[in-house]
Amino acid sequence: MKPIILFRKGYHGDDEYEVAKRYFDVVTSRMECKDNLVVGRYSCLPFYRELERDLAYNNSVLVNTHNQHSWIADFGYYYDLSDFTPKSYDSDNFWNAPEGQYVVKGRTNSRKHQWKTHMFAENKKRAVEIGHELLQDGLLCEQGIIYREYVPLNVLEIDQYNSLPYANEWRFFYYKRTRLSYGFYWSSAEAETMNNAYMNDEGIEFAETVANAAADMADFFVLDIAEKKDGGWVLIEMNDAQQSGLSENNPDILYYNLREALA
Q: One-letter amino acid identity for 19?
A: V
- Cβ neighbours around 13 below 10 Å, total: 9
- What's the CA dihedral at 34, 249, 177, 41 to 10 degrees? -20
Q: 26, 45 in Cβ contact below 8 A?
A: no
CB atoms near residue 176 (< 10 Å): 14
What pLDDT, on the 0 to 100 scale, is given for residue 13?
65
Q: State the CB neighbour count (10 A cutoff) for residue 123.
A: 12
For the chain, what are the domain ranges?
Answer: 2-62, 71-83+152-262, 87-149
Q: What is the pLDDT of residue 108?
A: 86
Counting as low any pLDDT under 70, the low residues of the chain are 12-13
Cα 59 to Cα 35: distance, rounded to the nearest angstrom: 5
Radius of gyration of the chain measured on its C-alpha atoms: 19
Residue 166 C-alpha from the chain's centroid: 16
Q: Is the pTM of this model over 0.85?
A: yes
Rounded to whole angstroms, the Cα distance separating 68 from 24 reads: 23
Q: What confidence tens digit (pLDDT) does each residue in 15-74 have?
A: 999 999 999 999 999 999 999 999 999 999 999 999 999 999 999 999 999 999 999 999
For residue 26, the SS3 value is strand
Q: Quick one: pLDDT at residue 109?
A: 84
For residue 168, give the 3-state DSSP assignment: coil
Domain 71-83+152-262 CATH class label? alpha beta
What are the helix and strand counts (H, E) for the chain? 10, 14
Q: In this structure, are residues 38 and 55 in contact, taking their beta carbons and an 8 Å threshold?
A: yes
Burial of 92 (0-12, 13-18, 19+ CB in 10 A): exposed
CA distance 110 to 143: 10
Distance CA 235, CA 142 (A): 24
- Cα 109 to Cα 6, 71, 136, 140, 204, distances in angstroms: 23, 15, 14, 7, 25
